[in-house]
């Protein structure tokens, strides 16, 4: 019985250690490409261009936060604040109808990326 408990403890420690170090980072290019993949929304060319310009600055701000020396808690709260500001900006840029469609599309598109980087869960 003691041997089984020791083995299970070792396996549990290995799994916890592997989980802690398995979080990957998502590159800027991948995140930006995901945020800019809006063909299915059928936005006007001008609106698409403005959205892409906005997303470039948004991604830069995200990586300024995630690459900083702040604690995880501070990074999370900074990303939440950035996300709240982004909601207002995108609503103004896209309008109510397109904003709702864009947020739904991004929630679906960002799921694989949030598995790699837990901090990205605070977006949208």
pLDDT in tens, the chain (124 residues): 556 666 555 665 565 654 444 445 788 999 999 999 999 999 999 999 999 999 999 999 999 998 999 998 999 999 999 999 999 999 999 999 999 999 999 999 999 988 888 878 877 7
Model confidence, pTM: 0.76
The reported pLDDT for the residue numbered 101 is 94
**In the chain, what's the furthest Cα-to-Cα distance?**
69
Residue 25 has φ and ψ, to the nearest 5°, of -105, 155
What sign has the CA pseudo-torsion 56, 29, 49, 110?
A: negative
The reported pLDDT for the residue numbered 20 is 46
Tell me the two tokens of residue 109: 């598109």
Decide if 105 contacts 41 (C-beta within 8 A).
yes
The reported pLDDT for the residue numbered 2 is 56
- Helix/strand number for the chain, H first, E second: 4, 0
Tell me the two tokens of residue 110: 């960002």
What are the extents of the domains in the chain?
25-122
Cα atoms in the 13 Å half-sphere on the side-chain side of 44: 6
Tell me the two tokens of residue 47: 């609106």
The reported pLDDT for the residue numbered 3 is 62
d(CA 69, CA 85): 22
């Amino acid at each position: 019985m003691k041997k089984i408990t020791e083995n299970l403890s070792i396996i549990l420690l290995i799994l916890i250690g592997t989980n802690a170090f398995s979080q990957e980072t998502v590159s800027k290019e991948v995140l930006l490409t995901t945020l800019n993949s809006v063909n299915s929304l059928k936005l006007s060319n001008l609106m698409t261009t403005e959205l892409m310009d906005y997303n470039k600055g948004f991604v830069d701000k995200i990586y300024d936060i995630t690459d900083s020396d702040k604690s995880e808690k501070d990074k999370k709260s900074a990303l939440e604040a950035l996300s709240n500001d982004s909601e207002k900006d995108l609503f103004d840029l896209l309008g109510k109808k397109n904003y709702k469609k864009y947020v739904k599309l991004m929630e679906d598109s960002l799921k694989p990326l949030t598995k790699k980087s837990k901090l990205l869960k605070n977006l949208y």
